[in-house]
Amino acid sequence: MGSLSKFLDYLKHEKRYSKHTIKSYTNDINQFKSFLELNYELTDEKLVKHTHIRSWMVQLMEENISPRSINRKLSTLRSYFNYLRKLSLIDNNPLLKIISPKVGKRLPEYVKEDQLEQLFDTIDIGDFEDYRNRLIVELIYVTGMRRTELINLKDSDIQKSVGAIKVLGKGNKERIIPLAPQIFDKFERYKDLRSAYFEDLSAFPSFFVTNKGKILYPKFVYNVVKKYLSSVTTMKKRSPHILRHSFATHLMNQGADLNAVKELLGHANLAATQVYTHNSIEKLREVYRKAHPKSQ
């Protein structure tokens, strides 16, 4: 598929997709390309038919790939062939005749409020490293920001005068997240510790830095969050995204407006945010079962 490099440039420069997303697109398309070459000796995208794609779907299912993952791969191909059609390299998108496999609703997991309260009450704050790690966990929870958004946070994004921080989200879209006044005192304390720890550095590549003064990397943030969450929960998933889910779920459970939660999370549409309403309904059911005399 000779047009792949052009498509990836389009995703990077026009769609402004993240490196992680572009890598996923690349892997999906190359996987499909290998399937075509191995099973059909086919290398020309103009000759791809919907039957080839259905055959690939069958193979993925036989490999026990989940419907959710298959749908993601189909979405990648759909975007790619739409791009080829836009360039008039093909007449029709072969994905038009493909029906995506059904995916069961998966409610987002989250950490309970009392568990997080226990976490922040018991964390022992010591030197620069301890303070930084504790602040990373707390900031993800109180803002719901994504891991990459936290990594790319700059000193200038901390806007104490307006009581908020500026976050650069997906598609380079900026959003403002309000914060409680006390956390800005923690920001100042962190910067003091950072300056003392790196006496020879006058400027930093990002707000949060490693022990070597470098910008954080995804695995670093994941390990920090997992370590702290492991002290209060036995959940299988203990990732930064679980803190993001917890942020949204706790807001919804306390009656927050759905549109407001959407804006805070940086979702492009309400559909992505509405999944958290299911957890809120479950919370209401639990209250009803415990409190109403006719609930049993």
What positions carry a catalytic annotation? Answer: 146, 170, 241, 244, 267, 276
What values do phi and psi take at 159, rounded to 5? Answer: -115, 80
Burial class of residue 41 in the structure, from the number of CB atoms within 10 Å of its CB (0-12 exposed, 13-18 middle, 19+ buried)? exposed
Burial 138-156 (b: 16+ CB within 10 A, else e): bbbbbbbbbbbbbbbbeee
CA gap 171, 18 in Å, rounded: 8
